[in-house]
Amino acid sequence: MNQVQHVKPRIPPRFCRLRPLQDEDRMISPSPPIPHLSDNSQDDYLYTLEDRRKHQHQAAARSQWTNHEGLGGLGGWDVNTRMGWLTTAGVLALVVPSLYMYTASIVSTRFPALRNKRICILIAHPDDEAMFFSPAVMALTRPGTGNHVKILCLSSGNADGLGETRKKELAKSGVILGLRKPDDVFVVDKPEFPDSMTATWDKAAIASLLRSAFAPNLARARSSNTPPTASIDVLITFDDGGVSSHPNHISLYHGAKAFVEDLVAGKPGWESPIDLYTLTTVPFVRKYTGIFDTLPTLLSWAVGAEKKDKKHPGGLVFLSGLGGQGSVTTAWKAMRQGHKSQMVWFRYGWITLSRYMYINDLRLVKIRRE
């Protein structure tokens, strides 16, 4: 009886390079069927399990990068979570400016305001009016208020030898912000008021200068025992923090306060012809929050400002718009086109982020009578 001969089946050449199937390969989806190819092209078409594993590992790596580092590094967040955050950010980008503009319109029409006043903005250096007081200047010079606003600067800002240039820049900036004419800007350039980060100006010298400028007949009024008069109704300057703790700014506060107190010193029945308002200094963090400082400012005004005397409001709030004449873009223009010599790189950060480019919070100084 013939024995059955076991013949080892012949393996086609195109599968000769396949290694034995491993356990981990069983999790991989089957390869697509390989069509009939000529012997010369079989090697080019060969798609082994090792190749497929390599491609799947690459796809997994790409997926891991997307989940952990893509879209700003939101590690571990799935697509829906990321899209939710992006949608929220988009909504806030629309809602926050809209709420700010609505609040600004309410503040400009319903909050206490100054009308038909002669107003002087007292600053220490050219560019203070744009960097710190622009919301107040633009609001107070708005058509319909009836105010006449002037700027008095007690130095030419000549620390870098640019005094004459900065005087001209101040006049140009003032007109951009709403002053009637360049002649409404006055610059005092005296040795006793140097532009310096370390010099404290004498408050008596400041008070004397203000007295000669705005109340030249004070001595005569005192001798005749008649209430004094002045050529301005409102004086606006820095508070005792100087916004940036600059000693020149702080000196203005002490000098202006001494001047206004001197108008009624020793005369209990006299009323000061000048109201002194100061720009509120806020903490460092709030200083760089832009329009987001609106709510803290309004809360501070609601709690701390006296509201009974409508003739002499205890606090004033000014919010600049976000576009058009008299808005923050006008303040940017005053800096970029007016104060060109001062537009170094960090100034762009200030005019973009500083709340003082959008918001001014002024407080009435209580005058002490001695």
pLDDT at residue 69 is higher than 90: no
Of the two residues 271 and 81, the one the predictor is more confident about is 271
Average per-residue pLDDT in the chain?
85
With 0-12 / 13-18 / 19 or more C-beta atoms within 10 angstroms meaning exposed / middle / buried, residue 189 is middle
- Rounded CA gap, 328 and 338, in Å? 14
Instruction: Give 71's pLDDT tier (boundaries 50, 70, 90).
Output: very low
What was the pLDDT predicted at 33?
56
User: What percentage of the chain carries pLDDT values higher than 90?
Assistant: 62
Of 42-56, 70-84, 121-135, give the range with the top mean pLDDT: 121-135
pLDDT in tens, 250-271: 999 999 999 999 999 888 888 8
- Rounded CA gap, 121 and 185, in Å? 10
User: What percentage of the chain carries pLDDT values higher than 70?
Assistant: 80
pLDDT in tens, 193-236: 999 999 999 999 999 999 999 999 998 888 888 888 999 999 99
Of the two residues 50 and 295, the one the predictor is more confident about is 295
Nearest to 356 by CA among 282, 245, 305, 300: 282
What was the pLDDT predicted at 310?
84
Of the two residues 36 and 352, the one the predictor is more confident about is 352
pTM of the model: 0.78
pLDDT at residue 92 is higher than 50: yes
Of the two residues 174 and 228, the one the predictor is more confident about is 174
What was the pLDDT predicted at 317?
97
Check: CB of residue 225 under 8 Å from CB of residue 265: no
pLDDT in tens, 122-165: 999 999 999 999 999 999 999 999 999 999 999 999 988 899 99
What was the pLDDT predicted at 142?
94
pLDDT in tens, 276-306: 999 999 999 999 999 999 999 999 999 988 8
Of the two residues 242 and 75, the one the predictor is more confident about is 242
pLDDT at residue 176 is higher than 80: yes
